[in-house]
Amino acid sequence: MSISVQNISKSYKNIPALQNITLEVNEGELFGLIGPDGAGKTTLFRLLTTLLLPNEGSATVANYDILKQVKEIRNAVGYMPGKFSLYQDLTISENLAFFATIFGTTIEENYDLIEDIYVQIEPFKNRKAGALSGGMKQKLALCCALIHKPKVLFLDEPTTGVDPVSRKEFWEMLKRLKQKGITILVSTPYMDEATLCDRIALIQEGKILKIDTPQGIVDAYQKTIYEVASNQMHLLIEDLKHFPSYYSVFAFGEFVHYIDLNNFFDSETLRNYLKAKGHQSIILQKTTPTIEDIFMDL
């Protein structure tokens, strides 16, 4: 087991940030913590990287105890915090050399691990980190987190505020790192990124709601979801919310996702209701649930 968390709780003053968290991450696994701002993701990262102490519970990372083997853990993990934390007035190559030296290694020794990523920022290696674009900062931070060849990599919201193209590239990098045997724990508020992980934990308000493979979570979902569209999308949401047997109504891109209270409900009744409300070009069909649908129903 690469990461093992047993009944961890953490409060700040009287406000609970994590409540009785238990989870295990296998060696070489790409594990996602999926949840919004304030769910407790960052607190869990700080506990596992020995930057905070839990109030209750225990955990091991790379088989080291987070309470008793702090130094061992710090050598065995790479951590990319959500907030950019490198030295702004050092250049790209100075930052990288600095982190390599701290961990008693050299850039050359583990170059194969960072090569894919480093070549993309190498043309700017003499530029100060503070003057880099968001995407380049992110790549530099990842290189610095990898330079000592960690066994476990912690990435706290690496793609928040990042555009869809750069997000796609970032996940492709993670896949290649996973193939090199590194265990990765990554957090994200983007539900669509859940499907790119081996397994995920859905987390909200300090509690884990579910742990499974993304497909497993989708397969276990019982309710039927309909996608609905019409010529008046803004009014559609309001009208669906006034349908007597509605369970939930959420905008979902070009469709509205509708769930009925009754599992055996006849969608024709709903179609007629919408027609009577003046909607035209109505689309009403069953659709496959996404992780985001399920998250909202927890």
Write each residue from 25 to 64 as x if it is in contact with other proteins (CB under 8 A), else as -, in one continuous string. Answer: ----------xxxxx-------------------------
Asked if 276 touches other proteins (CB under 8 A), the answer is: no
Write each residue from 92 to 131 as x if it is in contact with other proteins (CB under 8 A), else as -, in one continuous string. Answer: ----------------------------------------
Closest approach of other proteins to the CB of residue 198, in Å: 22
Helix residue spans in the chain (DSSP H):
41-48, 70-76, 92-102, 111-121, 134-146, 164-179, 214-219, 233-241, 267-276, 291-296
Q: HSE-up of 65 (CA within 13 Å, CB side)?
A: 5
B/e letters for 43-73, b = 16+ CB within 10 Å, e = fewer, are: bbbbbbbbebebeebebbbbebebeebeeeb
Among 160, 231, 245, 262, binds other proteins (CB under 8 A): 160
Angle formed by the axes of helices 233-241 and 267-276, to 10°? 120
Asked if 134 touches other proteins (CB under 8 A), the answer is: yes
Q: Please give the Cα distance from 129 to 99 (Å, whole number).
A: 14
Asked if 292 touches other proteins (CB under 8 A), the answer is: yes
CB 275 within 8 A of CB 230: no
Q: Please give the Cα distance from 293 to 60 (Å, whole number).
A: 33
Asked if 163 touches other proteins (CB under 8 A), the answer is: yes
Amino acid sitting at position 206: G
Asked if 83 touches other proteins (CB under 8 A), the answer is: no
Strand-pairing partners, residue 138, are none
Among 133, 262, 263, 272, binds other proteins (CB under 8 A): 133
Write each residue from 192 to 231 as x if it is in contact with other proteins (CB under 8 A), else as -, in one continuous string. Answer: ------------x---------------------------
Closest approach of other proteins to the CB of residue 190, in Å: 8
Binding site for other proteins (CB under 8 A): 35-39, 133-135, 157, 160-168, 189-191, 204, 233-234, 237, 250-254, 292, 295-296
